[in-house]
Structure 1
């Protein structure tokens, strides 16, 4: 073998090693990018991809609620079906079962999807529907949502005649609200 063939063989070998190193570096970089990209995925974006499907949510002091995922907002979702709807602030969701493996980034959401928890509660208030407010301490109150404020709602609870606070409004801060269960009358 001539020295030229040996030199070209050495260059070919070095080129192959460089290509293999570049490919390994590229795969590591792509894996890092994928991890970094997934770090920006929110629970709401995963739920948005699950909209229209059946999901189950585990909530503190309420247990598991299930239904069709009707709406998703930035900080809340609405499950419907079986004669009742559940408005659930996402900060109190302990676990989600049955969600899509995909996500829909918030930039792809419509303006309607960007409505706040207050907008959902205002709609409930306007309908005059009876509901049950499930609170973070495990308590619950049945009644009708009458008014929706910046950081709380006002509910007119169903009370037994003669009760001490009969007719008095109940103010519930959103921070203490785990779920609102509305029922068909």
Structure 2
């Protein structure tokens, strides 16, 4: 009888140690999985979030805080829709922080639903070249706080050419007041003129 209790006690201790070791391995596996999650994946998970909670807030490099929903995600940029502010393009490198409810923080840390899409591979340059093709007027917000209004004439691999003109007006040669070459690294975010859709 004493031996039965002794062996039961040993069995209980072994089971307890096994559970503790398994929990430690599960925790380490979760840490390893989280170490591989990309910002792009977390932003993509925000695209199908419920709208019953406030929109995420994006703090960008120029100090602006944008309360907006994520409507698209590319290789190195996110498309946001901020109520009456219209379509916005924010490079990942300009995002300083993202505020969101704790439930969204946890949900976006889950594994991606499936294989990537074509949009996941579109770079900022690709999106800007589409704006060039469609002659969309934009407001370009630079990381140091300055805002330039105009139309993007050309988009290179790491910069774009902006023809400056009054906001809300079409690009006409007579209305262009100057030109700027803007490196992607100087870009905080872009606002498309009202009514313009992204891609």
Does the alignment reach a TM-score above 0.5?
A: yes
* Residues 67 and 52 of structure 1: CA distance in aligned 2, closer, same or farther (over 3 Å): farther
> How far off is 1:177 after superposition?
0.7
Q: Distance in 2 between matches of 1:106 and 1:70?
A: 17
* Aligned residue in 2 for 1:30: 26
Report the structure number with the largest CA radius of gyration: 1
> How far off is 1:105 after superposition?
3.3
1:52-131 alignment runs, 5 A limit:
52-53=48-49, 54-80=55-81, 81-82=83-84, 84-98=86-100, 100=104, 101-103=106-108, 105=112, 108-131=115-138
**Which range moved further: 77-86 or 114-123?**
77-86
Q: Find the partner of 2:181 among 162, 165, 171.
A: 171
Q: Distance in 2 between matches of 1:77 and 1:86?
A: 8
| Alignment root-mean-square deviation, CA | 2.2
Is the CA contact 2:75–2:119 (under 8 Å) kept in the aligned structure 1? no
> How far off is 1:138 after superposition?
1.7
Gaps of 5+ in 2: 50-54, 167-175
* Aligned residue in 2 for 1:152: 159
**Correspondence 1:20 to 2:16:** yes
Q: Distance in 2 between matches of 1:147 and 1:97?
A: 34
Q: Distance in 2 between matches of 1:105 and 1:91?
A: 21
Number of residue pairs matched? 175
Q: Distance in 2 between matches of 1:169 and 1:129?
A: 16
* Aligned residue in 2 for 1:132: 139
Gaps of 5+ in 1: 160-165
> How far off is 1:98 after superposition?
3.0
Is the CA contact 2:160–2:183 (under 8 Å) kept in the aligned structure 1? yes
Q: Distance in 2 between matches of 1:128 and 1:83?
A: 19
SS in 2 for 1:150: coil
